[in-house]
């Protein structure tokens, strides 16, 4: 059952293990003849290098963990997809970790009782406080992703949420909307993500001379389209009167679209709606969603670069970087002024 080992190949080719090892790893200083001879032995035996043994010998795992709440949330699924693909460019592979969006899950992740599984970790926390994260001095380097405030000591990559919220709200203002609502933040204990987005939303309104009214905000019981639909439904019954809605994320936008459809409110004619994350979904809703589009590729790539520097030994202060974003304009909030 067990496959051939380096030793077996060496014997067959009549050389030492070292030479075979050199061939396997494409070491430059091997004569063509030797390489040819060894390669034949490898092929004949169907030899596969044992990664685990290699890891133990080198101390390098070739894996990075990418950790977040739940891969079934569209944004994270897309992040996971990008990460798996792009990591190859760095000669790394990705090990996905889910925290189930609980503080216990996040703590277990950070405290992980196993060593040597990954060389480093990209972690998007949603529950742990920055100070708690900073205290847990983990065995491996970590780069933080997302909107949670990050400890100064750690690297962190995110998009500028306040600016993005300002831009997408301004986009609505530019198209003539004035009664602009915000939907999708938490009913209890506002998340940092929601806080930043509401902040940018408010800045845009104020900047345009529109009064930001707390009654324009609709919180939801959970980050879930169904709950959002219920909350919006209720708000409409309560006389919530808007001509545009900035949603915290694409899922909230889907829920909002749903509630508006049910009432026969037309999007975008009566109410414009915007999403956030520009997930694949946003192109296929009816109408398709104007959405904040983070450059996930750039975000991941930069985070990976920072992580590799840490892995290589960099030990300076935390770098806090901003990844680019744009506003993807679609039907739910077009650029043309409202009729």
Which residues contribute to the site for a copy of itself (CB under 8 A)?
Answer: 2-3, 48-53, 55-56, 59, 61, 70-72, 74, 77-78, 80-81, 84-85, 94-96, 98, 100, 112-117, 139, 225-226, 229, 251, 254-255, 257-258, 261-262, 280-281, 283-286
Between residues 29 and 211, which has the closer beta carbon with respect to DNA? 29
Q: Are 223 and 252 in contact (CB under 8 A)?
A: yes
CA-CA distance, 312 to 27, in Å (whole number)?
A: 22
Q: Which has the closest alpha carbon to 97: 135, 62, 123, 136? A: 123
Between residues 38 and 204, which has the closer beta carbon with respect to a copy of itself? 38
> Does residue 112 bind DNA (CB under 7 A)?
no
Between residues 47 and 201, which has the closer beta carbon with respect to a copy of itself? 47
Q: Which has the closest alpha carbon to 259: 289, 234, 238? A: 234
Please give the angle made by the CA atoms of 302, 305 and 309, to the nearest 5 degrees: 145
Between residues 18 and 280, which has the closer beta carbon with respect to DNA? 18
> Does residue 49 bind DNA (CB under 7 A)?
yes
- For residue 130 the two structure tokens come to 């920055």
Q: Is 136 exposed, middle or buried (0-12, 13-18, 19+ CB in 10 A)?
A: middle
> Does residue 113 bind DNA (CB under 7 A)?
no
Q: How far apart are the first and last CA of the chain?
A: 72
Q: Which has the closest alpha carbon to 38: 52, 26, 55? A: 26
Beta-bridged to residue 247, according to DSSP, are: 183
Q: How many residues bind DNA (CB under 7 A)?
A: 29
Cα dihedral 270/275/279/281 (nearest 10): -30
19 binds, among DNA, a copy of itself, none (CB under 5 to 8 A by kind): DNA
80 binds, among DNA, a copy of itself, none (CB under 5 to 8 A by kind): a copy of itself
CA-CA distance, 325 to 296, in Å (whole number)?
A: 9
CA-CA distance, 71 to 281, in Å (whole number)?
A: 15
Q: How far is the CB of 269 from a copy of itself (least distance, A)?
A: 14
Question: Which residue among 54, 86, 179, 326 contacts DNA (CB under 7 A)?
Answer: 54
Q: How far is the CB of 26 from DNA (least distance, A)?
A: 11
Between residues 56 and 190, which has the closer beta carbon with respect to a copy of itself? 56
Q: How far is the CB of 13 from DNA (least distance, A)?
A: 8
Q: Is 100 exposed, middle or buried (0-12, 13-18, 19+ CB in 10 A)?
A: exposed
- For residue 244 the two structure tokens come to 């545009």
176 binds, among a copy of itself, DNA, none (CB under 5 to 8 A by kind): none
317 binds, among a copy of itself, DNA, none (CB under 5 to 8 A by kind): none
> Does residue 190 bind DNA (CB under 7 A)?
no
Between residues 15 and 226, which has the closer beta carbon with respect to a copy of itself? 226
CA-CA distance, 70 to 65, in Å (whole number)?
A: 14
96 binds, among a copy of itself, DNA, none (CB under 5 to 8 A by kind): a copy of itself
Between residues 54 and 178, which has the closer beta carbon with respect to DNA? 54
Tell me which H or E stretch contains 268: none
Binding interface with DNA (CB under 7 A):
2, 5-7, 14-19, 21-22, 24-25, 28-31, 33-34, 47, 49-50, 53-54, 56-59
């Amino acid at each position: 059952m067990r496959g051939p080992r380096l030793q077996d190949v060496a014997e067959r080719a009549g050389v030492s293990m070292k030479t075979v090892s050199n061939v396997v790893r494409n070491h430059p200083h091997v004569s063509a003849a030797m390489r040819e001879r060894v390669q034949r032995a490898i092929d004949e035996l169907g030899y596969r290098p044992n990664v685990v043994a290699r890891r133990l010998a080198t101390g390098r795992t070739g894996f990075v963990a990418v950790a977040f709440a739940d891969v079934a949330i569209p944004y994270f699924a897309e992040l996971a997809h990008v990460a798996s693909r792009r990591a190859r460019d760095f000669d790394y592979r990705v090990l996905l970790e889910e925290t189930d969006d609980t503080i216990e899950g996040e703590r277990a992740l950070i405290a992980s009782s196993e060593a040597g599984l990954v060389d480093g970790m990209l972690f998007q926390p949603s529950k742990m406080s920055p100070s708690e994260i900073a205290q847990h001095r983990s065995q491996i380097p970590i780069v933080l992703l997302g909107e949670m405030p990050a400890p100064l000591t750690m690297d962190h990559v995110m998009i500028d949420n306040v600016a993005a919220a300002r831009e997408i709200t301004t986009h609505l203002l530019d198209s003539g909307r004035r009664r602009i609502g915000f939907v999708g933040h938490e009913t209890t204990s506002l998340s940092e993500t929601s806080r930043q987005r509401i902040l940018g939303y408010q800045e845009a309104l104020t900047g345009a001379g529109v009064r930001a009214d707390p009654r324009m905000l609709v919180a939801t019981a959970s980050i879930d389209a169904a709950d959002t639909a219920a909350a919006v439904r209720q708000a409409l019954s309560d006389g919530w009167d808007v001509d545009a809605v900035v949603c915290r994320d694409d899922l909230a936008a889907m829920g909002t679209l749903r509630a508006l459809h049910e009432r026969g409110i037309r999007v975008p004619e009566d109410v414009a709606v915007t999403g956030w994350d520009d997930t694949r979904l946003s192109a296929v809703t009816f109408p398709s969603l104007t959405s904040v589009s983070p450059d996930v590729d750039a975000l991941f790539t930069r985070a990976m670069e920072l992580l590799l520097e840490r892995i290589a030994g960099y030990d300076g202060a935390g770098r806090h970087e901003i990844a680019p974003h744009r506003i993807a304009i679609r039907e739910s909030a077009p650029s043309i002024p409202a009729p």
